[in-house]
Amino acid sequence: MKTFKLACFLLLTSFSFAQTSLKGTITADGMPLPQANILIKKASKSIVTDTNGNYFIKDLIAGDYEIAVSYTGFRTEKRNFTLIDSTETVLDFKLRENNTLDEVVITGTLKPVSRLESAVPVEVYKPTFFKKNPTANVFEALQNVNGVRPQLNCNICNTGDIHINGLEGPYTLVLIDGMPIVSGLSTVYGLSGIPNSLLERIEIVKGPASSLYGSEAVGGLINIITKNPTNAPVFSVDSFITDWGELNVDLGFKENVGKAASVLTGVNYFNYSNPVDNNNDNFTDLTLQDRVSVFQKWNFNRKSNKLLSLAGRFFYEDRWGGELQWNKGYRGGNEVYGESIYTKRWELLGAYELPTVEKMRFSFSYTDHDQNSVYGDVPFLAKQRIGFGQLTWDKKINKHDLLFGTAMRYQYYDDNTTATVNEDVNWIPSLFVQDEIAFNDKHKILLGARYDYNDNHGHIFTPRFAYKWKVNENNIVRFNTGTGFRIVNLFTEEHAALTGSRDVIVLEELKPERSFNVNLNYLKKIYTSNGNFIGLETTAWYTRFSNSIIPDYDTNPNQIIYKNLDGHAVTKGISTNLDFVFNNGLKMILGATYMDVSKTENEVTTQQILTEKFSATWAISYRINKLFLDVDYTGNIYGPMRLPLLGDLDPRSEYSPTWSIQNIQFTFNKFKNIEIYGGVKNLLNWTPNKGNPFIIARANDPFDKNVQFDGSGNVQATPDNPYALTFDPGYVYGPNQGIRTFIGLRYTLK
């Protein structure tokens, strides 16, 4: 009996000290997650997954454990398990996207930091958000972001820019992977050439960021972060077509070049070649477009695991709008009116972490933009080249998280207008420094300053201050203030200077605009007892501009007058975002903004033209699991805005009505790797011609051949021209495209 007991004791002891192993795969949305963190506290084991999302832990003693799996941007998942014997145990994890606002962001401070820990409020939007209302480019995709409005500036060629908190497009800096390569000419046409298939996420900062990014980041910035080739699918295709005849195709390919590198190739093609004139003015309601964009990004594997990436993009577009009978034989002539734009552009950007003990990175970009365009019989030929290099040093010393940087920007610009008699070449060196001081877990401040030197404008200094108070894990208050400046390139930024018959008058040598901004941000997270989540974020802001350059349409209806404002301009308002995530499959993203954008000159205050007082956006999604169906209802609503009239007799409304664009989409996802989607855009069939006798002034006489002027150059009312108008397509505040259906397919090979 003693021998039996001894044998049992030895057997149990052997089980207690038996060595076993654990393995598995970490995925999200069917894609492997490389470098995901695996932690087993009891065994003091911590590893990361390989490039295929796999992990393997050996030499574990039998017993009870808790494992925690985490990955940036996803919810941490914990699980209890028991190891009984020496057999291999498999535990796979499917991580879900983080809806608790804990994403890692880089735009606010030029370094990776949790969104909750950032002293600068940053909004993050991922591809899942933009798929709720599929569009052909980033410009259109931003229409459902609260406080951000894609603004069309011409009824004919559909040029556009992006307004943030009521400020015109040139006040917004658009970055790709942190590089300022979308500016000047590309702010007009280049935005429509950035395909959504490249997106990893979009980070948006509302308010000036000039101390880090320079002169164009006065109103805010949009950082388009492209996909990492390592995490990209092997092959993907996303294509849709509308009943208007718009065709969009996105293709993606990923390839591993041995162990040395991984490369992602993306191709986007968009075509619209079906003239539509639903408002019966003999002009195209939507610009016809034929464009292709090819993107490639390389990530190199270095022994030091430091970053080395290189990316390039080529973009070509042929677009035209105008009278329905226009063809390329009329290009540049005065018989049939058309606006035709050929755009050719290529970009190169990269990042290299230096092989030093200190954390130092060199980033660079270069762009070449060639535009050959005609607006009726007015040619506009322009070339722009921008080179940018930046070296940063990220250094932590006790409670100080320091960032030092130096940058050099090269700008070349030339066009055939009188504004550029000689080629404009500028070298702009910069120095900047930032210190983020964490006093404790609750209080943090950020101090920053930037110095630029411009040949035309001399020394420019822009300071910055931010304070974050973490009341507790679920309540955060942020205060930000800073100054900004902006140098205007008139003809590349102000499309109205090129189209229509208004004369452009520049009364003086334009000085740089200066701004001062303060904003207060409050973020709250609410977790209910049944597992639902509510996120609330509210921001109030005030920005005051001196030397403001606002086109004057009012003084003379035949002119656009540019000069520095003899007074000041102000934008102020409050914006609120609400995120709801319910366990029953319902998700809601709601946003509303109220703002007042005005200018004061000679003690007279007027509302800025083409700026709404209030706006709201929404994205409501519901998943019906039994039917393998997702339903997305998205939309926006805008309050009245003052519009540019051509005189007292102009019969068009001085203010736009309150208007809304609403969309619905159904996505069927039963089949592996395949999504079939379809829906309706602009459900209300709203277009700006409703309630107006016409949109384009003098559409029947686009070259003003029958317009009569008096000795002072003023238009005379005649039987043929009873409203005393000249041809002008600048009365635009929303898209002319009415209701339309779409259907599409997504295929992803993991």
**pLDDT recorded at residue 45:** 76
Structure tokens at 88: 């291999």
**pLDDT recorded at residue 11:** 44
Q: Which of 565, 555, 588, 576 is nearest to 513 (CA)?
A: 565
CATH number assigned to the domain comprising residue 668: 2.40.170.20
Is residue 59 included in any domain, yes or no? yes
Place of tokens 């903004």: 593
With residues binned 3-state (H G I as helix, E B as strand, rest as coil), the percentages for the chain, rounded to 5, are 10, 55, 35
Number of H helices, E strands in the chain: 5, 43
Which helix H or strand E contains 130, and what residues bound it?
Answer: helix 127-130
What is the tens place of the pLDDT at every residue in 305-360? 899 999 999 999 999 999 999 999 999 999 999 999 999 999 999 999 999 999 99
What is the tens place of the pLDDT at every residue in 81-137? 888 776 778 888 888 766 545 566 676 677 677 777 788 888 888 888 999 999 988
Structure tokens at 514: 């200066």
> Which pLDDT band holds residue 575 (cuts at 50, 70, 90)?
very high
User: What SS3 class is residue 139?
Assistant: helix
Instruction: Write out the DSSP string of 182-216.
Output: E-GGGGTTGGGG--GGGEEEEEEEES--HHHH-TT
Structure tokens at 468: 């974050």
Would you give the DSSP letter of residue 233? -
Structure tokens at 365: 């970009």
**pLDDT recorded at residue 360:** 96
**pLDDT recorded at residue 12:** 45
Tell me the C-alpha distance between 598 and 568, whole Å. 9
Rama region for 102: left / alpha / beta (φ>0; ψ in -120 to 50; rest): alpha
Give the domain range for residue 68: 2-94
Tell me the C-alpha distance between 653 and 460, whole Å. 42
Tell me the C-alpha distance between 614 and 638, whole Å. 6
Structure tokens at 371: 């535009």
Is residue 118 included in any domain, yes or no? no
**pLDDT recorded at residue 479:** 95
Q: Does residue 15 surpass a pLDDT of 60?
A: no
The phi, psi pair for 187, rounded to 5°, reads -70, -20
What is the tens place of the pLDDT at every residue in 432-478? 999 999 999 899 999 999 998 887 778 888 888 999 999 998 999 99
Q: At which of 74, 94, 114 does a domain end?
A: 94
Q: Does residue 679 surpass a pLDDT of 70?
A: yes
CA distances from 453 to 181, 389, 426 (A): 19, 15, 10
The phi, psi pair for 602, rounded to 5°, reads 55, 40
Q: Which of 88, 82, 53 is nearest to 66 (CA)?
A: 82
CB atoms within 10 A of CB 167: 23
Is residue 396 included in any domain, yes or no? yes
Is residue 138 included in any domain, yes or no? no
Q: Are 294 and 316 in contact (CB under 8 A)?
A: no
77-111 per-residue burial string, b: 16 or more CB within 10 A, e: under 16: eeeeeebeeeeebebebebeebebbbbebbbbbbb
Place of tokens 């499917």: 94
Number of domains in the chain: 2
Q: Is the model more confident about 163 or about 558? A: 163
Q: Are 58 and 21 in contact (CB under 8 A)?
A: yes
What is the tens place of the pLDDT at every residue in 473-492? 899 999 999 888 776 665 55
Q: Which of 198, 276, 270, 266 is nearest to 241 (CA)?
A: 270
Q: Are 64 and 80 in contact (CB under 8 A)?
A: yes
41-55, 268-282, 658-672: least confidently modelled range: 41-55
Place of tokens 């384009």: 696
580 contact partners, CB below 8 Å, separation of at least 6: 532, 533, 534, 535, 586, 587, 588, 589, 590
Q: Are 276 and 207 in contact (CB under 8 A)?
A: no
Average pLDDT (258-286) is 93
How do 261-272 and 288-300 pair as beta strands?
Answer: antiparallel
CB atoms within 10 A of CB 440: 8
Instruction: Provide Rg for the chain, Cα atoms.
Output: 28
Do 373 and 513 lie in a common domain? yes
> Which pLDDT band holds residue 41 (cuts at 50, 70, 90)?
confident
CATH number assigned to the domain comprising residue 57: 2.60.40.10
**pLDDT recorded at residue 9:** 45
Tell me the C-alpha distance between 728 and 702, whole Å. 8
Average pLDDT (581-586) is 85
Is residue 156 included in any domain, yes or no? no
Is residue 105 included in any domain, yes or no? no
> Which pLDDT band holds residue 714 (cuts at 50, 70, 90)?
confident
Structure tokens at 140: 């259109």
CA distances from 91 to 24, 49, 67, 670 (A): 5, 13, 10, 25
Q: Is the model more confident about 135 or about 173? A: 135
259 contact partners, CB below 8 Å, separation of at least 6: 301
Tell me the C-alpha distance between 2 and 77, whole Å. 47
Is residue 212 included in any domain, yes or no? no
3-state secondary structure 421-471: CCCEEEEEEEEEEEEEEECCCCEEEEEEEEEEEECCCEEEEEEEEEEEEEE
**pLDDT recorded at residue 512:** 79
Average pLDDT (248-261) is 90
Do 467 and 606 lie in a common domain? yes
23-27, 67-71, 405-409, 676-680: least confidently modelled range: 67-71
Tell me the C-alpha distance between 578 and 592, whole Å. 9
Is residue 169 included in any domain, yes or no? no
Q: Which of 445, 436, 519, 440 is nearest to 479 (CA)?
A: 519
Most distant CA pair in the chain, distance = 127
Q: At which of 68, 94, 120 does a domain end?
A: 94
Do 468 and 321 lie in a common domain? yes
Average pLDDT (199-225) is 77
How do 172-176 and 220-226 pair as beta strands?
Answer: parallel
10-19, 157-166, 316-325, 519-528: least confidently modelled range: 10-19
Q: At which of 79, 94, 109 does a domain end?
A: 94
Do 229 and 90 lie in a common domain? no
Amino acid sitting at position 471: V
Q: Are 437 and 400 in contact (CB under 8 A)?
A: yes
Tell me the C-alpha distance between 89 and 53, whole Å. 17
Instruction: Write out the DSSP string of 652-683.
Output: S-SBPPPEEEEEEEEEE--STTEEEEEEEEST
Q: Are 87 and 62 in contact (CB under 8 A)?
A: no
Average pLDDT (674-699) is 94
